[in-house]
Structure 1
């Protein structure tokens, strides 16, 4: 896998470049991983509901063909776009999502943070009150509130075209979280979001991006 660190780039030209790369690739095209940081941007998934955009204000909203609802990209976030031929990897979409989440969990583990999955809600979550805890929460799980005690630290949104992936995932490293309050993140009203710095982990963008790239490359190399 070829890893390309794009750094600070506008969202829309990056999206157009991903589309062009995916449309032009063939069975021999090497997979690539693009790492970048976007200016403040809301992106809306293909089935996104407008009611989840509460008060976007001066932040642009870009409609996309990825799955999922609305999310936010902004400074202090590592956004990773794996451009991968799933047929060459020998996996399907469900396994691909599992591997993306595994790479995020492994990256967080390297910082002493326990990343958690929530069934039916792609992405990775942490316990802000005890981010390094491995034990299951005490007491019964409330099925009506699967996010109780959790905050989302990484989001996923992918598109598969001719067995090839684009769009990807975003890990919150050191962010101003205010824009997440202008939306229902990923379509969930009241879902708390966080970033590494808010749970006591202080690292810089290049380090976090490099660690995530290492784990994604390991998960997505045949």
Structure 2
């Protein structure tokens, strides 16, 4: 247990440059408090003390602003940064070394029973305000862009942006994942913009058409000048 607690603190110090020391992490990081409260709630949930489990999660939500259902399964190394507004549903499964930012929702759709929330693979980064809704898997080492709404399966090593979420980057070959904290890619601000790419492509096409129209006008003017020349 103490090894797990030390690892939770180390994860924050490794991934958040604002963390100055261990005491600050212990006292001031709501994401850490929410994870610890969830472990206790999950223990009672597994032993079918459902009301006690929900009461613990409700108290944790009141103090941290992070709602994690006691039934959610969370792996090691979860990093919750500025966790206000995060919601994690009952049948959510989160792998190891996952990073969640504020406003993320890992939710379900409809009223179906059973597995209805997403499965998040190892080393996934879900950026601010992203919504992952439904029972599908987000592949390992993927990145979900800020504000995206993901409604279907995400292959491993992919980058997803937009509403609805679209895969805009995916490695052609599967690389072997390294189990090192240094390999967690937190650069969720540098993501491709498919809308910008389409606009640039349209601008290029318009410029090409404009050039062709100008060439045609020039040729037409030359023909008109030739017809107007006096005969010798």
The structure whose RCO (Cα within 8 Å, separation 6+) is larger is 1
Higher helix share: 2
Q: State the TM-score, normalizing by the size of structure 1.
A: 0.26
Structure of larger gyration radius: 2
Higher strand share: 1
Q: State the TM-score, normalizing by the size of structure 2.
A: 0.25
